Structure 1
Amino acid sequence: MNAGRAAAIDRRRVGWWLVAAVVAGIVGLFVFSFVGTFVLGLFVYYGARPVNRRIQRWIDSRGLAATVTLLFIVVPTLALLGYAGFVALRELTATLDSGTVTLLLNHLPGDQQTLADVVQNFPQFVRQLGEISQFQQALGTLAGVLGAVTTGLLHLTLALAFAFFLYRDGHRLQAWYRETVGGRDTAAYAFLAGIDADLEVVYFGNVLTVLAVTLGSMAIYNGYNFLAPGPVSLPFPTLLAILTGLSTFVPLVVGKLVYVPATAYLALRAVQADGSLLVYPVGFLVVVFLLLDILPQSIVRPYISGQTMHEGAVLFAYILGTALFGWYGLFLGPLLLVVVVQFANFVLEDLLWGRPFSAAPTDTTNLGTDPTEMKATTADAATDEGPAPSDDSADGHESGGERENASEGDRGV
């Protein structure tokens, strides 16, 4: 009887494992289909989590704190996109000849007479526009740009929503993991705690470095244009400053992707205009090399990021991740590097030698954050007091807000 009951239980357990595999496959399909969106959401989450912690100290609601945090990201992002779109529109109009521009302007519905003419002769007007090759090319380009912008805004919205729910409900997910998988004395918890800490170090450090380089580039590029004569002036200095800041994501390479071609362009303009003007491109190169390359690499990034990862490994993670996965590889590459490093720290040696798994890191590598050295863990006291209340305000302050802020703030990240 007991043997039959045990066999029935085993069959039910096998059936539930099959259901679990199907559920995992469904979740994996969604993650794989939108992997770029999820990785971008993780970047937004970790890149602004220290800001969110400080906001939670002043705002008595996790949801409101998450909203305020994301506003610091959305508004600047939309401003940058708006500026880039303005520059692209200006470049597009510059490629059209005067006849095309005049024809388009003359047929804009600015008054009733023009509107009546367009309505009465609409087929002829469409044929005239269709015969202009520049307009056809511009229309196709505009359609492609609009499609790309729409897709980008969709991914950005989903990523921001993902980050919002992590800010608001991440402590619930963490509590579930501790209760279901293991507490802080288990290797599984230490492994994910190390990943969590290192992702914040890498992503938040990069955000601050990019912000510092972008602001510095704006000051230097616009200051150069103020001092340099017209023939060797820098085109679109603010846009180039934004691109210089974004290129800082790649360690060692940093702003060279932008300021080296810009210097070559200025040198060519100087040679074509007057050889004596070469002093301006040379001076520009020296200043940007010292302030936008040496300074971020030697002082800003090490001070912010804490040197928890090998710079060469991070460099290959950025470059190979982008080359292999595309745009989202810029964020996925460092994530995979952190996972590999922490796996080597907490699992690999015990797995190879058949030893019991523990929360203590092995001697495999000295890279990455050691969560056993943290002064406190996140919200263990909240677990001891029972489940958090459902009210957002009370949940964000009484049940986990202050204790989580204090414990996470002691990580030294």
Structure 2
Amino acid sequence: MAVFSRWDGKRVLWVGLGLVIAALIGLALFRYVGTLLFAIFVYYAIRPLYRHLDRVIDHPNVTTTATILFVVIPMVAVAAYAGVVALRELDQFLTASDLEAYRSVFQPYLRLTQEGNIDRLREAFRGGSGGSIADVLRQGVPDVLGRLRSIAGFVFSILARLFLMLTILFYLLRDDEKLRRWFYESIDHDDEIVSFTESVDDDLETVFLSNLVVIAVAAVTAVVTYTGLNYVASGGPVVGTPVLLSLLIGIGTLIPAVGMKIVYVPYGLILLGFALTTPTPLWHPIAFFGLTFVVVDTIPDFFARSYLSARSGVHMGLVLLGYFLGTLAFGWYGLFLGPIVVVLAVHFAHMIFPALVSDLLGE
């Protein structure tokens, strides 16, 4: 081909060096692909807020630092705390029900919420197990130190990934315009490539930001509603696991047509069954269904879903498949990789594939 006829030894050398550098960078990032994808997700989710603040502050370093300190870190902390509370509620639910056999599936995560050997050692001192203090120390301290070493390694791994995520996010927010200009100048502002990348960029922001808003609004509304319902209820709480149920409801909003009903309708029917077969008041399931339908199920639809459907250029059913198949194929980070692949595929099919086919058929 004419392209390769212009490739002399110097160009081949530079291309080979570039491929080696790209391979080394790819290998380094592949080990932390989940962290990278999470940083990309957070970047698109908070980019509109960052750009709004940047217009006011007009200092990229200050704006980026303020965005991370006052938005990202609290958001990650709240999500982590909600996850821990949800794990505790899940552990209690599995233990109290006939599903205790399934605890082994979640054991690596449930172990984080359970009491450690430090509490057991304290109880040994307090309860007087019949041995001397030296015996207790000999038996308990090595085990405790081993657990502490394991916990320290786990905590360090989490902190290292958090630091890496925040570093990637910082430079994405601050230097994305410089990166975009460098790329467009490198390709000599090719109209086809510029149009493709801009369309992908816009839709990724819409998908990630809008779905995050839908999930957050639904989950927070559900937590407030169920906590308030439990507070005013007599004869025990109406919702036994409010945080866990609220998180599941938030995730359920991603499902088209059915939405969060796939979560709260079965739960409400269980409450109704308890009310009909036990002394549980009948108003518990009635109040649960009424508040959930009016408050929890209505607000996200009117507040966020219409915004998502109006702005996104990608069919919501395909986005759902991206979330679902991405998680099945790649694990937890597929939750972020799946939608990226879907957006790339949709715009490639619309903008690039027809031109390629036309060129091939024309030849």
Q: Show the 5 A alignment for 1:36-185.
A: 36-71=34-69, 72-82=71-81, 84-85=83-84, 104-105=122-123, 107=125, 121-127=133-139, 150-183=156-189
Partner residue in 2 for 1:342: 347
Contact 1:232–1:266 (Cα < 8 Å) also in 2 = no
Change (3 A) 1:197 1:93: closer
Deviations 1:34-55 (A, max 9, x none): 2211111110000000000111
1:124 partner amino acid = V
For normalisation by structure 1, the TM-score amounts to: 0.68
By relative contact order (CA 8 Å, sep 6+), the higher-ranking structure is 1
Q: Which 5+ residue runs of structure 2 have no aligned equivalent?
A: 96-113
* CA distance in 2: counterparts of 1:223 and 1:25, whole angstroms: 54
Q: Report deviation, 1:239.
A: 4.7
Q: Provide the aligned length of Structure 1 versus Structure 2.
A: 330
1:214 partner amino acid = A
Higher mean C-alpha displacement, 88-97 vs 279-288:
88-97
Q: Report deviation, 1:32.
A: 2.4
What SS is found at the alignment partner of 2:198?
A: helix
Change (3 A) 1:41 1:179: same
* CA distance in 1: counterparts of 2:207 and 2:356, whole angstroms: 27
1:35 partner amino acid = V
Higher mean C-alpha displacement, 159-168 vs 190-199:
159-168
Partner residue in 2 for 1:319: 324
Contact 2:29–2:36 (Cα < 8 Å) also in 1 = yes
Q: Which 5+ residue runs of structure 1 have no aligned equivalent?
A: 1-6, 109-113, 356-413
2:75 partner amino acid = P
* 1:222 paired to 2:222: no
Partner residue in 1 for 2:292: 288
1:37 partner amino acid = T
Q: Report deviation, 1:227.
A: 3.6
Rg bigger for which structure? 1
1:237 partner amino acid = P
Structure richer in helix, relative to its length: 2
Q: Report deviation, 1:186.
A: 1.5
Q: Report deviation, 1:297.
A: 4.2
Change (3 A) 1:86 1:324: closer
Contact 2:326–2:335 (Cα < 8 Å) also in 1 = yes
- RMSD of the alignment, in Å? 3.8
* CA distance in 2: counterparts of 1:303 and 1:336, whole angstroms: 22
1:68 partner amino acid = A
Change (3 A) 1:11 1:228: same
Change (3 A) 1:326 1:286: farther
For normalisation by structure 2, the TM-score amounts to: 0.76
Deviations 1:388-408 (A, max 9, x none): xxxxxxxxxxxxxxxxxxxxx
Change (3 A) 1:103 1:149: closer
* 1:207 paired to 2:205: no
1:77 partner amino acid = V
What SS is found at the alignment partner of 1:175?
A: helix
Q: Report deviation, 1:15.
A: 2.0
Task: Report percent identity of matched pairs.
Answer: 31
